[in-house]
Amino acid sequence: MTVSGFTFNPFSENTYLLHDATGACVVVDPGCYERAEQDALKQFIEARGLRVELLVNTHCHIDHVLGNRFILDTYQVPFLVHEADLPTLRAVPTYAPSYGFPLYHPAEPTGLLTAGEPLRFGETALEVRFAPGHAPGHVVFYHAPTSTLIGGDVLFQGSIGRTDLPGGDYETLITSIRGQLLTLPDETVVYSGHGPATTIGQERRANPFLQ
């Protein structure tokens, strides 16, 4: 599995395309709001002959869902989130204009992500792990064969997700990190929702929130 990343919108949110040798592709957390951002993502997909099969959100804060409608309108694919984050997603239209996104168009999921049930595309299967604390229905996606974790806003290089937003809870987040992320091998590469990639080993050794 290959991970291709893009940084979009004023929140510098990381959007990821997961794709494998079959050309199958999953869009994770599309933060593309401006037309130029949408075009960049679409052109990358077209240039590599990728076949978009799924749209998923690790969680549903505004910066991670701005491009959901664009992906659905463009590719007509299933859209999955964890059930516990449906209220988070459905709240976005109430505050999007005040955050500077008056043209945000909501999108309703067509299905749900369930921890422990694999997320499949092409010849790839991802493990879905439930990791609340930053958001009530936050999930992460782990691919053991490539030691890859798509981590959303749970764990960052030298930091952790904020817990002062509605539905956030510091102790829950720390429990999620210790139980769902630090149980992975040290070599696991963590692709976070903001900032550079890191590894489980690096954060286990040096992250000040985990000492």
d(CA 25, CA 34): 22
pLDDT for res 180: 98
d(CA 195, CA 58): 16
pLDDT for res 163: 98
Pairing of strands 155-156, 159-160: antiparallel
Contact between residue 29 and residue 113 where contact means Cβ atoms under 8 Å apart: no
| Ranges of each domain in the chain | 2-210
Residue 53: in which H helix or E strand, if any? strand 51-56
pLDDT for res 27: 99
2-210 under CATH 1.10.760.10, yes or no: no
d(CA 19, CA 118): 16
d(CA 87, CA 39): 29
The pTM (predicted TM-score) of the whole model is: 0.98
Tokens of 65: 């869902």
pLDDT digits (tens, 9 = 90+) for 66-106: 999 999 999 999 999 999 999 999 999 999 999 999 999 99
* Summary mean pLDDT of the chain: 98
Nearby residues of 144 by Cβ (< 8 Å), 6 or more positions away = 127
pLDDT for res 207: 98
